[in-house]
Amino acid sequence: MRRGNGGGRQPDKGRPARPAGPLRPHTKARATTPRVRAGSGDGSATDGEPKRGGEFKPPRAKAGSGSRPRISSGRGSARGEGPAKTTETSLRPAQAAAKPAEAREAAPSAVPLPTGVQILSVEPDEAGMRLDRFLLGRFPGLAQTHIQRIVRKGEVRVSGHRAKPSDRLEAGWGIRVPPLKLDQKPERPQSESEADEAFLRSLALFEDDDMLVINKPFGLAVQGGSGMTRHVDGLLESMRSRDGQKPRLVHRLDKDTAGCLVIAKTRFAAAALAKSFRSRTTRKIYWAIVAGVPRVRQGRVSTYLARGESGENETRMEVARHGDDGASHALTYYAVIDQAAQKLAWLSLKPVTGRTHQLRAHAAHIGHPIVGDPKYFDVENWELPGGIQNRLHLLARRIVVPHPRTGRPVDVTAPLPPHMQQTFNLLGLDVSRYDPIEESPEA
């Protein structure tokens, strides 16, 4: 288990003290030489991410194919504290002893970035992480947009290959990282950070030492984008632990979808929760108000979805055929809970897969798009009933996820957002009504 950077280790008797170089907030100071993957900085180190559906999985380094050099550095290591050096940098024992213990134990205010190429090694507790999340965790001072850019440009190499930001890693793989540049930003005032933390905790539906489930409001983005200054991922900076770990997102909701959003508070929890989402052991139920009433009151929608033509910074999913470029299978169960004449229906939706815009695209595919959906609502001559707001009527109502440490189910339910509560009141819908989707097959 990795500890925080709380204290520089006192030198052993009879052994020269090592210099107190800056540490990343979540990295434990080590008296031994840092572990790196053998490589010359030209992308020859091994790394990659297991992929499904025929996507590449870079080969693991064979045993005995290369030696792991012992590298010592006085100001950092291959883990991101500074440039890795192949020469020994020494400091006279008298100089090291002259440094007060308080200075060695103090956490750095900024994370130094490497000035040259680095080869990073994936630790066991980082296995299963996305490549962009791995880099963001190693270099928290870098903007996510910068990380996405250097990965897409091929400057980050995985076993000598280009990689995608979404590629997932395995323990022991190596990642070639180019020289990085940090655009220094002034630290936010303490009052602003405290306000962000208070805001997030006011949204909490469940919280313990490992995970947090919030009720994400309508209109709040989960991650940053073009022109996006306030989002959940940014607000989580205010909740860094004492050892520097920032809570991590393990799944996403659309900006205009309200409801349950799961956040991991530790690296161990992030890996466990991400695995439960990938293996589909997490159960999710959504509520939606749609146009019209489905003739089949309970059913399933099984299609392939692929990204269609879209404008800048916009994504629209289209129903595709098996084998089409970029097409992925998407499966959703649905049930009609109640209706308002033949004008509107209240649906319960259970996605088995987790594709982008899956529920919105599937609702439109069966001819009953979600009310207030600006991308997929295309019913001609349809007028919004009076008193109902033209906002996306989609709620991540309930999530049941195995706890990352105990394995016991964490069952959380989110209340209706204000605009959907107003619609329920106008239509006379009762939130306590029986939801038949609870008994649908898991597939």
Give me the pLDDT at residue 115, please.
61
* C-beta of residue 264 within 8 angstroms of C-beta of residue 210: yes
Higher pLDDT, 229 or 430: 430
pLDDT band at 439 (very low <50, low <70, confident <90, very high): low
Residue 73 confidence (pLDDT) above 60: no
- CA of 54: how far to CAs of 51, 60, 317, in Å? 7, 17, 22
Number of Cβ within 10 Å of residue 83's Cβ equals 17
Give me the pLDDT at residue 443, please.
42
pLDDT tens for 170-221 read 888 888 888 876 554 445 555 688 899 999 999 999 999 999 999 999 999 9
Number of Cβ within 10 Å of residue 144's Cβ equals 17
Residue range 300-314: mean pLDDT, rounded: 80
Delimit the domains of the chain by residue range. 1-184, 186-309+317-443
Residue range 228-251: mean pLDDT, rounded: 89
pLDDT tens for 321-350 read 998 988 999 999 999 999 999 999 999 999
Give me the pLDDT at residue 1, please.
45
pLDDT band at 135 (very low <50, low <70, confident <90, very high): confident
Residue 101 confidence (pLDDT) above 50: no
1-184 belongs to CATH 3.40.190.10: no
- Block residue for tokens 């025929």: 54
Give me the pLDDT at residue 207, please.
95
| DSSP secondary structure letters along 137-188 | HH-TTS-HHHHHHHHHTT-SEETTB---TT-B--TT-EEEE--------PPP
**Cβ within 8 Å of residue 191, ≥6 positions away:** none
Tell how strand 283-291 and strand 344-351 pair up. Answer: antiparallel
CA neighbor of 135 nearest in space, from 80, 53, 62: 80
Residue range 366-390: mean pLDDT, rounded: 92
CA distance 250 to 315: 21
For 51, phi then psi, to 5°, come to: -125, 155
Give me the pLDDT at residue 86, please.
37
pLDDT tens for 204-214 read 999 999 999 99
Give me the pLDDT at residue 330, please.
95
Give me the pLDDT at residue 143, please.
75
CA distance 334 to 66: 54
pLDDT tens for 31-72 read 444 444 444 444 444 344 444 444 444 545 444 444 444 333
Residue range 404-424: mean pLDDT, rounded: 95
pLDDT tens for 105-117 read 443 444 455 567 8
DSSP state at residue 390: S
Residues known to be catalytic: 254
Homologous superfamily in CATH for domain 186-309+317-443: Pseudouridine synthase (3.30.2350.10)
